[in-house]
């Protein structure tokens, strides 16, 4: 780990937890479509784009064919519900341990970035008062391909002016670990991503980063 100069964090599921808001928003859309949707279904949507998430939900859709415009309206509806729910977030939605880890890593001289497929990453960072913790934010607003494509992480590395081989990606989703691997970066898994067995390092808590980067 001596050649690591930067750490790129996925946002949702690693630093903050907005799964419940995603679930509530998609649930409303699915219910209106008459599509069965539960938390297990919601887990399949982690780390993928809004458009791809809708396609997964529509696998169980039995109604009339939907046009591209129909699908666009549905994703916009979901996002409007989600953004309204995000307005409830505050500084308290980020634990003290997460803030300590970010602060300690920065004090050690590492560059920090967010690499998230979400187009609402900026809003989440603002609401939780995390913006100043990062040198760069690469998110769904500046990419065309979702994880497991490495684009979001490669752009994050570029923003930090670091080569991929000098970056460590921290992810809680298999798609994110695969994206980091595909980008030629080191990867550290947490949460569900540990089950993938694809990461260079597996962690039970974010605090273990302090030992990996020691």
- Tokens found for residue 113: 């970035």
Residue 1 in this model has a pLDDT that exceeds 70? no
Name the residues annotated as catalytic: 10, 12
Q: Residue 44's pLDDT band (boundaries 50, 70, 90)? A: confident
Please name each of the domains of the chain with its CATH number.
Answer: 6-17+94-212 (3.40.50.1000), 19-86 (1.10.150.240)
* pTM: predicted TM-score of the whole model, two decimal places: 0.85
Query: At 196, phi and psi to the nearest 5?
Result: -70, -30
The 10s digit of each residue's pLDDT in 89-137 is 999 999 999 999 999 999 999 999 999 988 899 999 999 999 999 999 9
User: For the chain, what percent of residues have pLDDT higher than 90?
Assistant: 89
What residues have CB less than 8 Å from 136, skipping those under 6 apart?
A: 111, 113, 114, 156, 159, 160
Residue 166 in this model has a pLDDT that exceeds 70? yes
Residue 206 in this model has a pLDDT that exceeds 80? yes
């Amino acid at each position: 780990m001596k050649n690591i100069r930067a750490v790129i964090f996925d946002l949702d599921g690693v630093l903050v937890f907005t799964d419940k808001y995603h679930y509530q928003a998609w649930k409303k859309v699915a219910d209106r479509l008459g599509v069965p949707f539960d938390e297990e279904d919601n887990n399949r949507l982690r780390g993928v784009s809004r458009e791809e998430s809708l396609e997964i939900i529509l696998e169980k859709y039995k109604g009339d064919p939907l046009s591209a415009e129909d699908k666009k309206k549905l994703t916009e509806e979901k996002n409007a519900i989600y953004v309204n729910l995000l307005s409830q977030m505050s500084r308290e939605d980020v634990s003290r341990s997460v803030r300590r880890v970010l602060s300690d890593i920065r004090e050690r001289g590492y560059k920090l970035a967010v690499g998230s497929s979400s187009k609402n990453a900026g809003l989440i960072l603002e609401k939780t008062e995390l913006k100043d913790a990062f040198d760069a934010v690469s998110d769904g607003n500046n990419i065309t391909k979702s994880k497991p494509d490495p684009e979001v992480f490669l752009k994050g590395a570029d923003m930090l002016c670091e080569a991929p081989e000098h970056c460590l990606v921290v992810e809680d989703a298999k798609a994110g670990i695969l994206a980091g691997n595909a980008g030629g970066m080191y990867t550290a898994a947490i949460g569900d991503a540990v089950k993938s067995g694809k990461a260079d390092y597996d962690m039970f808590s974010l605090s273990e980063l302090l030992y990996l980067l020691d």
